[in-house]
């Protein structure tokens, strides 16, 4: 699907509020704890930093194609979307309510580098509470869908949270990993990973790579309407499975096989060749539809 620039509303550059407005049915969104009722972070105030009224996350409910939906949207432009105490509490509260009220799904618009280091243990605890709340909502039968396509991607604790969701929809611009590129370079040296090499960063953590590897259920264009269409199509086919040890063991086996097959490779290019892509160097320039066609033609 090739979109003209004038019809396109870029997800990557949009604010969290603009993403919600374009994603849900027009005018259907109601915010819980809106800016006038919410509190900026007391931790940031202690450090003499201005907070944001909504603490960098918007939670609420609305409709998608007339179905009741809960939404969480992180604002990547505020402190890298990092999770502080209030930010985390808002997310956990919404997920717990979802487990009780059972909407058709929770859409989790992740745009975050992980824990807000300024808030130290409070931020770490918040992340672990989010993980538990995602799993509890899923166990109650509510799909939790991660949408990743913002400038901060999904890293650190939020990378783990993304993988705990029922599925991830990602754009080429989106990124997903545990340690961010700069963290790896700082800890292991530039020979291990050059964080300034943006092409390398995307070949290892970017949306196309994650989709080819099967980490993400769907690759969508960097367009708010494309995320809406993709989410609607995904939910139409998805039934949240009951949690089971057998499913976890099967997943563990897939990951072990993957480590054995690709664990020594250094770059997305090598992984794609090993996956059976005939011309791996062409992958970064393919548009979304061509890449999806390529993946569907790969040996499984």
Partner 1 sequence: MEMLEFRFDSKPGARPTDPALCGVVGSGNLEILVQPSEQPDCCQVRIKTSARGFGATWRAVIGDFAASHAAGGTAIAINDMGATPAVVSLRLAQALADYQGGAL
Binding residues vs partner 1 (CB under 8 A): 15, 17, 34-36, 40, 45, 48-54, 56, 75, 77-79
Rounded to a whole number of angstroms, the minimum distance from the CB of residue 44 to partner 1 is 9
Smallest distance from partner 1 to CB 80, Å: 9
Question: Based on CB atoms, which residue is closest to partner 1, 78 or 211?
Answer: 78
Give the shortest CB-25-to-partner 1 separation in angstroms: 20
Nearer to partner 1, 182 or 240 (CB): 182
CA distance 61 to 70: 4
Map residue 124 onto helix, strand or coil: helix
Which C-beta is closer to partner 1: that of 74 or that of 166? 74
Identity of the residue, 158 or 291, whose beta carbon is nearer to partner 1 in the bound complex: 158
- Of 107, 67, 73, the closest CA to residue 90 belongs to 73
Angle among Cα 253, 163, 61 to the nearest 5 degrees reads 145
Q: Locate tokens 């800890």: which residue?
A: 187
Angle between helices 268-275 and 245-262 (to 10 degrees): 110
In whole angstroms, what is the distance from residue 300 CA to residue 290 CA? Answer: 18
Shortest CB 33 distance to partner 1, Å: 13
Shortest gap between Cβ of 221 and partner 1 (angstroms)? 24
- Identity of the residue, 51 or 123, whose beta carbon is nearer to partner 1 in the bound complex: 51
């Amino acid at each position: 699907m090739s979109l003209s620039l004038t019809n396109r509303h870029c997800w990557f550059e949009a604010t969290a509020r603009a993403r919600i407005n374009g994603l849900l049915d027009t005018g259907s969104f109601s915010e819980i704890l809106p800016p006038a009722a919410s509190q900026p972070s007391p931790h940031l105030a202690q450090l003499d930093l201005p907070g944001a009224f909504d603490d960098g996350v918007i939670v609420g409910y609305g409709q998608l194609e007339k179905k009741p939906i809960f939404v969480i949207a992180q604002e990547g432009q505020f402190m890298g979307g990092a999770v502080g105490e209030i930010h985390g509490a808002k997310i956990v509260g919404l997920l717990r309510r979802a487990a009780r009220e059972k909407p058709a799904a929770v859409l989790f618009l992740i745009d975050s580098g992980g824990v807000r280091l300024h808030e130290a243990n409070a931020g770490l605890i918040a992340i672990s509470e989010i993980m538990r709340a995602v799993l509890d909502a899923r166990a109650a039968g509510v799909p939790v869908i991660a949408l990743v396509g913002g400038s901060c991607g999904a890293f650190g604790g939020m990378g783990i949270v993304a993988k705990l969701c029922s599925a991830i929809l990602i754009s080429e611009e989106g990124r997903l990993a545990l340690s961010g590129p700069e963290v790896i370079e700082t800890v292991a040296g530039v020979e291990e990973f050059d964080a300034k090499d943006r092409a390398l960063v995307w070949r290892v953590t970017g949306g196309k790579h994650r989709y080819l590897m099967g980490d993400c259920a769907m690759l969508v264009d960097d367009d708010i309407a494309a995320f809406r269409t993709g989410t609607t199509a995904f939910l139409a086919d998805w039934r949240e499975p009951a949690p089971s040890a057998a499913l976890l063991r099967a997943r563990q086996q897939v990951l072990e096989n993957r480590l054995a097959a690709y664990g020594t490779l250094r770059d997305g290019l090598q992984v794609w060749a090993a996956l059976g892509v005939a011309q791996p160097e062409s992958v970064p320039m393919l548009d979304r539809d061509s890449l999806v066609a390529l993946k569907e033609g790969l040996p499984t």
